[in-house]
Structure 1
Amino acid sequence: MRAVIVEDEMHSRETLKNLIGEFCPEVSVVGMAGSVDEAIQVIQATNPTILFLDIELQTGTGFDVLSRLPDMALDVIFTTAYEHYAIRAIKFSSLDYLLKPIDVEELQLAISKARTRQNANNQKQQLDTLLANITGQHMKKICLATADRLEFVKVDEITLCEANGSYTTIYLKDSRKIMVSRNLKEYENLLTDEHFMRVHNSYLVNLREVKQYVKSEGGYLLMNDNKQVSISPKKRDEFLARISL
């Protein structure tokens, strides 16, 4: 794998290069850059398969680099010194990030995941999803990782998420169901700000897709697709407060 490192601090560039050289023999660092313009030049000249990209650069951001390379298909691993606001958008795109100081095991895991998912079409869609989400207050699309593929869907197309052990079943407006290899808690953390609510241990619902709240039989929600969803008694007051907004 051919890697380019984009970091505005020379010490951080050299540290990451040394970690890769010592612990990741399958990766060859073919270029480094410290600014947006320099990054564009190095990436176009070296055609890497993997890009380590700092979120904050002195002359802009890592997203400025990506937006100027719209046709470039490569795996991106973001690096940042703190829990940046963009981390949520990165998670929506199923991309990886590393917090500094970089942990060797996390670095090796991120590279291993990149090596197994090198698909040019998926890479481009993941980056397109990220750039679409990073420009707005609300997330527009989400990347769903199944056992054998990546699905890119609009957040508003999701009606509800149902727990299935360590997996989650995603229900869509077009009646499709997608089982993904992440638990419901992860989607609760991602989607709560996007008009979704955890109404039961087993369910996270799109509040805009709730048609009725039925008080009888212990209480349940009737969705627009007529699916009945149990609601926990301790969640009823919060649900009624949010649904009335």
Structure 2
Amino acid sequence: MNYSYIIIEDQQEPLKQLQKELENYPEFISKGTAGSVDRGIALTLTQKPNIIFLDVELGAGTGFEILKETARFFNEPPFVIVLSDHEKYARKAINYGVLFYLDKPINPVKLSLALHKFKKHFSELRSHISIKDKSAHWLIQYADILFIQSDGSYCHIIRLSGQKVTVTKPLKEIELLLSKTFLRVHKSYMINTAYIEKINTTHKIITLHFRTGLFEMTEKSKTRLDESFTIKDTVMEIPIGEIYLEKVKHALLTFKTL
């Protein structure tokens, strides 16, 4: 999946450094740069990017002015990664809901963390996963995925219908594209927690259970639907890896207050 970004930065050296680092992430597509508050507002509204890399100090103005002026034009505003060499703006950045505070000069490791955090948060806003196999791009609703199984450099996405979509991505990459409904329970398995029926921590097994309504079409039912409607019951047992056991217990068996 591709993501769009813009950079609002008035200093050439950090701008070029960030552009150079982002070349290592081909799924992130540049939609332009701006070096002032006014140009930043215009670029944000015309491009509507997924991410804004935003310098705080822009001449006589600040990057926060851009966020304030553009917020009312978005149902879902872009994620913001602040660029600054001053920690004094950190508190204000939190008040504006900034995703990540990236110090200048850019640290490649911290940039990687920021982009991974973005992917995870971006996936929470969606109701489906967009992924490509050998034949096509698939748009699969989260609710239609039962579990995902790793097979070396491949992964099999198992849908409720029993259909298997195989993609050339490791499980750790697909994990970034999924919502909080999904939980890694084994080095080879990630499950949709919406379909958990029971957990056996002694035998390290999670049981998934779902029902699917099926219409069996016959010559008679071409003109009307009748008693040929049936319910398909499916039960799957998924192993819990030893190193994931405590994580599973904490995620599924710990009472959390609101």
Structure with higher strand content: 2
Structure with greater Cα Rg? 2
Q: TM-score, length-normalised on structure 1?
A: 0.49
TM-score (norm 2): 0.47
